[in-house]
Structure 1
Amino acid sequence: MAEGAHITSAFSHERPSFFEVLAQESLISTIRPALKHAIRVAAESRPERFGWLLRHFDEVYVGLHLLLEQQHLHKYCATFSEHFYNLQRHCPGSQSEQLPTPIFLKSLLFVVLIPYVKQKLDDYFENQRHLLNTYATNKNVPPLTKAFVAIYPYLHTTWEGAILAYQTAYLFKKSNHHSPFLHMSGARLINDLDTEPIEGQLLQPWDQLSGSEKVIHVIKKTSSVAAGCVTSGLSVGVFFVQFLDWWYSGETNHAPITALPVPDPPNKEDEDEDTFHFSVCPVCHRTRSNDTALSVSGYVFCYPCIYDYVREYKMCPVTKYPAQTDHLIKLYISET
């Protein structure tokens, strides 16, 4: 049994576990929304200074991501998330301590640039689909746009299906690559083995140790085991929390904005004229301050009025469509 455990441990140091590769894949995806939120807060407080960062966030992010991954691939032969989980990219047959140039460049391509292009295509598809749904009878929509909106969901399904197929094969140990992009880069992931002596390892026979040396060895061994348990527990815990967040996200998300009907224009004959005046808030019926639009309906309110209303009632005060505070869009109206 001890021999089997030793063999299993040695194998796991060569080939990362399925949970390790999934955890490192999801790590970088959590950085993007966090950075975007920080930039949004800065842009809302100082739009004249930081507004351009939010308007060109995709380009700013891909530039920073490229610098980060280039540094880690050059220094550690691993991406940022792979190095965080003590993984390393290995080129079979290569004896160099650094990645060969072709594999280095292909790694940057598949880790940074391809996801950037995919993100831009996703955004373009959502925008064009929204336009087609809004102006379904518009004859001026280019045929190529209609073809793209019709074909892209199948391309996206193929993309996700290929990733799922590789992950399934890796889970059942039928493949050494958990991702088609890692496979195309020509590298594979291995554990970053540490050749230094393990802390707490017994360097002399137990019988030759003095009483104080035995006590020190037991303390070191206990500390080493405890540290390993804490590290493993944190890794598994982070992955489990992310899994639960993904599992329940589909049940808690509201319907997308494009699924809601277009609200009817305000009827001034039935309502007070001031209610729908271009400068009057429909909630407080006073001249608006800090103009904020609610994306589910298009109406503009005072920010304090609409924020408090949506937070309490979870809907638009005019159309009664379901809404969240994430649907609030701050407007910057020129004084000229």
Structure 2
Amino acid sequence: MAVQTGAFRGAGVVSATTEATLPSVFDIWAQQSLSDSIKPALNQVVNFTSLWYPKKCQNIKKYFDELYLGFSFILDGYYLRNYGGSFAENFYGIKRIDSKTNKPPVDKNRMKSMFFITIWPYLRAKLDKLHERLTAISDQQRTRFTTLFLKYYPYLKTVIGIATVIFQLAYVFNFAKTPAPFLWLAGCHLEKLTPADLMAFDTLPLHLQSGGPLTRLWRFIVSIPAVFGRLFTYGLFFVQFLEYFYASGTADQFSTTHQRGSPPKHPAKRLTEAEVLTLEVDKCPLCYRRRVNDTVLAVSGYVFCFSCIDGYVRREGLCPVTYLPATVNELVRLYKTT
């Protein structure tokens, strides 16, 4: 069997003489995204349905994890037994191959694959919920087991995450045939389905059949959870970024850097009421002198000296009396007729 180079494996390209093709890392990410999004999508359907039928959906919501485990065991077990891969893997044209026999996994190796496809995600979800619940318990109520679990479970998740990254990097650069640690523990690696595999299937899954309206509709429906799951992830990251941006004080720094200085107080507002009432109508509100070259600011209707209001509007961009935004285009010169 020909082996892909690291660059080609990342793109999923092989030569024409290659008998078996290893899937690209993008195919692997896509099938993993689909696999991870099916359960949240079904959970949302249950939550939505419970708004109309709360009593009927009560037990479904309570035992949703167990019901989904059974559903996944049946669905992925069927696809693994008949098509050599889980539903998500088969959807993207991928199959599992036993690394020792170079054939689809059977018996014990198939059970290993079923454990990591169905049971391990269920256990991890339960452990995550347990960790979240125990974290809220006070130190006085924690047992020795609780303390040890809270201390070491995050390390276990970190180790699994690091191992996953290492395996994927080794896969991309052609140092390994297995892109995930759980695949390695199951004794399998992934390959693309070949035309011979499709011919050998008793019945071809709808999403692998030749293009047609029904096939395209089915592929679109199945891909919706993965697409919306990805968009939700990006949106959540953006929200977290905004929370950090405003919580860290960075937003305040930007706002103070670009903030316009507070407009100066109108001179009449510093006068007493009697002085304001006695202010002559031909006086400029800015310089207190008799107006020269009367100019009205259209946004507020106040009249000023042309030199006073022109310089002020150019500098501040607003009316000195009402603080309404203004430009020099809104200055209207007044002329007296003799």
TM-score (norm 2): 0.56
Structure 2 SS opposite 1:49 = coil
CA contact (8 A) 2:73 2:118 kept: yes
> In 2, distance between residues paired with 1:51 and 1:66?
23
Residues 154 and 7 of structure 1, relative CA distance in 2, 3 Å threshold: closer
Residue 99 (structure 1) aligned with residue 100 (structure 2): no
Which residue number corresponds to residue 123 of structure 1?
129
Which amino acid letter does the alignment assign opposite residue 56 of structure 1? Y
Which amino acid letter does the alignment assign opposite residue 39 of structure 1? V
Residues 66 and 140 of structure 1, relative CA distance in 2, 3 Å threshold: same
1:1-336 alignment runs, 5 A limit: 8-11=15-18, 13-92=20-99, 94=101, 99-132=105-138, 139-195=140-196, 245-253=232-240
Which amino acid letter does the alignment assign opposite residue 249 of structure 1? L
> In 1, distance between residues paired with 2:82 and 2:60?
29
> In 1, distance between residues paired with 2:42 and 2:230?
21
> In 2, distance between residues paired with 1:143 and 1:252?
37
- Between the aligned residues of both structures, percent identity stands at 25
Which residue number corresponds to residue 276 of structure 1?
none
Alignment gaps of 5+ in structure 1:
199-223, 225-229, 256-336
> In 2, distance between residues paired with 1:95 and 1:129?
45
Structure 2 SS opposite 1:90 = strand
> In 2, distance between residues paired with 1:60 and 1:93?
34
Structure 1 residue 116: Cα displacement: 0.8
More off after superposition, 246-255 vs 143-152: 246-255
> In 2, distance between residues paired with 1:83 and 1:249?
29
More off after superposition, 36-45 vs 106-115: 36-45
Structure 2 SS opposite 1:8 = coil
Structure 1 residue 130: Cα displacement: 2.4
More off after superposition, 77-86 vs 155-164: 155-164
Shift >4 Å, 4+ stretches: 4-7, 9-13, 236-245
Pair member with larger Rg = 2
Residues 91 and 147 of structure 1, relative CA distance in 2, 3 Å threshold: closer
TM-score (norm 1): 0.56
> In 2, distance between residues paired with 1:168 and 1:29?
21
Higher relative contact order (CA 8 A, sep 6+): 2
> In 1, distance between residues paired with 2:198 and 2:149?
57
CA contact (8 A) 2:21 2:192 kept: yes
> In 2, distance between residues paired with 1:178 and 1:147?
31
Structure 1 residue 131: Cα displacement: 2.8
> In 2, distance between residues paired with 1:9 and 1:238?
34
Alignment gaps of 5+ in structure 2:
1-7, 200-209, 211-215, 244-338
Residues 168 and 127 of structure 1, relative CA distance in 2, 3 Å threshold: same
Task: Give the aligned length.
Answer: 218
CA contact (8 A) 1:19 1:239 kept: no
Which amino acid letter does the alignment assign opposite residue 176 of structure 1? K
Structure 1 residue 47: Cα displacement: 2.1
Deviation by residue 1:34-68 (Cα, 9 ceiling, x = unmatched): 10011112223222212100011111111101111
> In 1, distance between residues paired with 2:13 and 2:32?
28
Structure 2 SS opposite 1:190 = strand
Structure 1 SS opposite 2:95 = strand
CA contact (8 A) 2:23 2:191 kept: yes
